[in-house]
Chains A and B, each alone.
Chain A
């Protein structure tokens, strides 16, 4: 009912969405991921990809990397809302275009086919540090690390070489140079 009179307001603004990578340092305790992810779904924020693992065994700190899209106002809210969560220590925010930050995703491709196809697949992956993790006469498992859109492209391109299965991670991020995010 776009014209219902009792709706208090309608949004007709069309704003530009930016892609941001949000990095969150949290206490590695029960339910902490649910709190972070629940905040995103509850407030209608997007999650494009997610990567999480404990990075400090002694202090029990986990690092969560979330790729999200939103207007500048929404991205700002995401940061501020995350900082309110009790187990959250700090929150960093990088624009995808940011040259001072490295972003990487990893993918595993299983290729099944004759030798010439297996070789073709490996060749196609050449630019993305391919590593053969498993090899049989009929199959290869190839690992690559690359950007999201590059992996998207490879997932398509490798079809013709007998790609049967893809497994990929969310993005992880790190600043370039000697500085670390405080």
Chain B
């Protein structure tokens, strides 16, 4: 007879077989048997966070930067409810997470026991699927299936709730089954015919654009390579959503920058005026489309997505290709080479007028801002940070708000999996714990959380985690003392009624850093900024960088409320003549 293992042992046996090397968690009554076994599984390292939300975001950062699922271990009741924000965040941004939660013993379920909550009920709408394991004989199979659901198709979070008595009971261990199809649900539903149609549309188009999203990143590094190949082979312009940044080089001439509410003038106008839009792994989110009735009125739309429910959800498309981005792109390239080997040449003339138009939009220089010699402009701070780190293969996380948009606009990404930001849910407090997770996955790399002072305070306790595990993350705070994006909307749309958007009693971030036993650096003037950033980069410990920036700077360009892509606000018009160009700014 084979050896019997306890439920707690089986949890770790499963993780071993799923190649898990790090888990993020916080112990508590209902998971004590699992924590008791931790020491017996040396290949699995536990990262102790300071709050379960931090465990969730750290696992997200780990997953997004490594391509592997992030694993979370939390206790019942408050442990599980604290992780809900992170699960919802991962659900919105399609990040694979496996959350193991403890539950009160089965005989106490439903009695309002201490630290009991209906975890599977609460997390049902924010996971791809969840399980309450009531029979020890189902445990191994359930955990293996959880990993499969989280990582296949459109990735996302899953949760396995394990009552404490199940953790003690013993049974045989079952290895993962290889061919375990999810009710026969496969992910590629396209045929050659639709690829031919796509190539036909591409060869007829004179005003094409690629609109790419997080699906390219999720499809793996190969998908980004294929995307580059396709974009270069066609000579078409390309724009990206917030989540897609890095799948195509940010400094390439064919790249028009990010699109959407705070996207570039050229990207949004090109989306509006194009005659062919090829959406690859993006979902026509409302921050992207603006006013939906007037969204790109003259174009044929192609949508490549792994999730059939994304097709025709917000925008009706002319050609839908349901499949994994990598597979679709590889078929497209193959057909393109066979049929139209001289595509680029024949196409150049056809799209030359389109490129001229794009150059005109580009010449507006919509990301420019008014420089200053006295105060640090937040855009300037990001630009300097980029210039001083661009050769380092750095990983950037962000919180949510103005700083996030400025980071997306001014930091250029050349590789996938280098940019971790909360897009769909817009979770303030995401960036710091995410940076912890990224640094765990990439101990030798430079990891920076571009933060706002309001966001970062929501999960600041995770500095303690960073210090405990010697994770030299850099928290680069653009400190304007306001919830900047809230303040901006209040200024532009609520008659400057700055209701509760100013934080009157902020901590001294340098002293706070010292309290956490890490390093605090403050920059107050543009003059000293470079030296201070270099000081930060040369510090091999966690750093909180308090960058005191202009308090009332707004994030432009912006598509105002209820407006289509071609009606952007570019910036404070009266000061237009003071605008300085990109190179000039480094003199400030």
What residues of chain A have their CB less than 8 Å away from a CB belonging to chain B?
Answer: 4-10, 13, 30-31, 34-35, 38, 42, 73, 76-77, 80-81, 83-89
Contacts and interface: CB of A to CB of B under 8 A. Distances in A.
Report the 10 A-B pairs with minimum CB-CB distance, sorted nearest first.
Answer: A80-B309, A6-B493, A86-B129, A5-B493, A42-B125, A80-B308, A81-B309, A8-B561, A9-B562, A89-B183
Given A9-B290, A86-B129, A89-B183, 13 more contacts: A5-B493, A5-B494, A7-B561, A7-B562, A9-B286, A9-B292, A9-B562, A10-B562, A73-B312, A77-B313, A84-B128, A84-B309, A86-B128
Nearest to A39: B125
Interface in B116-131: 120-121, 124-125, 128-129
A96 B149 CA distance: 35
Interface residues of B, number: 29
Residue of A9, A10, A73, A76 ringed by the most chain B CB atoms within 10 A: A9
A6 B494 contact: yes
Contact of B125 (A5, A30, A38): A38
A5 B492 CA distance: 9
B405 to A, nearest CB: 15
B120 A31 contact: yes
A133 B385 CA distance: 81
Contacts of B451: none
B489 interface: yes
A88 B183 contact: yes
B291 interface: yes
Contact of B121 (A5, A10, A34, A73): A34
Nearest to A6: B493
A58 B183 CA distance: 17
Interface in B292-313: 292-293, 307-309, 311-313
Contacts of B293: 13
A73 B286 CA distance: 17
A181 to B, nearest CB: 16
Given A9-B286, A76-B312, A89-B183, A84 B120 contact: no
Given A30-B132, A31-B124, A86 B309 contact: no
B309 A8 contact: no
A87 B124 CA distance: 13
18 contacts: A5-B561, A6-B489, A6-B493, A6-B494, A9-B286, A9-B291, A9-B562, A30-B132, A35-B124, A42-B125, A73-B312, A73-B316, A77-B309, A81-B309, A83-B185, A86-B183, A87-B183, A89-B183
Contacts of B494: 5-6
B182 interface: yes
A179 B396 CA distance: 57
A165 to B, nearest CB: 32
A80 B182 CA distance: 16
Contacts of B312: 73, 76-77
A35 B126 CA distance: 11
A158 B515 CA distance: 78
Contact of B307 (A5, A7, A38, A84): A84
Interface string B127-147: 011001010000000000000
Interface in B85-141: 120-121, 124-125, 128-129, 132, 134
Q: Which of B132, B185, B309, B562 has the most CB of A within 10 A?
A: B309
B307 A86 contact: no
B308 A83 contact: yes
A77 B286 CA distance: 17
B182 A86 contact: yes
Contacts of B120: 31
B370 to A, nearest CB: 25
A40 to B, nearest CB: 11
B84 to A, nearest CB: 14
A100 B476 CA distance: 65
Contacts of B134: 30
Contacts of B313: 73, 77
A13 B290 CA distance: 16
A149 to B, nearest CB: 31
A5 B491 CA distance: 11
Contacts of A5: 493-494, 561
A8 B286 contact: yes
Nearest to A41: B125
Nearest to A8: B561
Nearest to B149: A86
A13 B307 CA distance: 26
A71 to B, nearest CB: 11
B124 A38 contact: yes
A8 B124 contact: no
A161 B185 CA distance: 54
A73 B292 CA distance: 15
Nearest to B287: A8
Which of the listed residues B128, B183, B291, B308 has the most CB atoms from chain A within 10 Å of its own CB? B183
Contacts of A83: 185, 308-309
Interface string B304-336: 000111011100100000000000000000000
